Amino acid sequence: MIKAQIIIEMKDGALYTYANHFLEEKDDVVDNKGNYTFKGEPGKYYMYTGEDGDEYKDQNEPGMAKADYEYLLKDVKKGTGYLTFPEANGLPAFSNGTLDEIEIPRDKEVGNTKAFTRTKLPRDFVKTIKLVETIVPYPFGRPKEDVLLKAPKTEELYSIPREIKTTYERYVSLPVVKDGVITNFDDFDTVYFRKPKTEQWIEVEDNTVNFECELVGEINGIKGGISYYRAL
């Protein structure tokens, strides 16, 4: 299964992830190999099987990865004002009547109370917009009535455990960086980073980091402690 997120990088190095809050429905659809599809988590990420009938090229409706990515590429070319987002089925509750505000879940949550950071992104301050795909485990060919099987929980992707697991079976080491290269990158299933004064954890695409950031590794769904890297 492929998880996709749109990454917006600003000229000051700040990074923002985006996914439509109104994803196109496709939970009851099958690809050409008979796999039941999953749209993703609204406002968090998109998902598609990557098989014939549900490849990237097929994500071309508003609320799908390809269509939303191409919308943003076109919108940023307007050059002035704030970047607008392709919310497909109307205005999200947080938008206050506009589509030019991005909502970022904060790491910490008390009970069922969620907190968010909301911000607007000037078009002329956007450096790059890219769509990043990640392969994630997912039960292909699940029964149609089994709607409870979902992708990895968003909080598992973004939140860092307060306690480091220290038992032998669950211990996860720290990412080690030397000269901008994560030397033990292959020891982890996934490595995440976040830049100073930001709250979002973003997946490292390869084994290099050339900027100041915090890093955390994950193995079998368990995250280790946080290491810090300062670029020279």
Three-state SS annotation for 165-195? CCCCCCCCCCCCEECCEECCHHHCCEEEEEC
Q: What is the pLDDT of residue 98?
A: 54
β-pair partners for 218: 190, 223
208-231 burial string, b = 16+ CB within 10 Å, else e? Answer: ebeeebbbbbbbeebbbbbbebee
Q: What is the pLDDT of residue 160?
A: 34
Q: What is the pLDDT of residue 90?
A: 54
Q: What is the pLDDT of residue 88?
A: 52
End-to-end CA distance of the chain: 38
* Contact (CB, 8 A) for 75 and 64: no
Query: pLDDT tens per residue, the chain (232 residues)?
Result: 788 999 999 998 888 888 888 888 876 667 777 667 888 888 888 988 888 888 999 999 888 999 999 999 999 999 999 998 887 555 544 444 458 887 776 655 556 677 777 889 999 999 999 999 888 765 433 434 433 333 333 333 333 333 333 333 345 778 888 888 898 898 888 899 988 877 788 889 888 888 888 898 888 777 877 888 887 6
Q: What is the pLDDT of residue 49?
A: 85
Domain limits of the chain? 2-151, 160-229
Taking CA 17 as the corner, what is the angle to CA 151 and CA 170, rounded to the nearest 5 degrees? Answer: 50
| φ, ψ at 5 (rounded to 5°) | -135, 145
Q: Which two tokens stand for residue 108?
A: 């910490």
Q: What is the pLDDT of residue 166?
A: 32
The identity of residue 231, as a single letter, is A
Q: What is the pLDDT of residue 2?
A: 87
Q: What is the pLDDT of residue 145?
A: 41
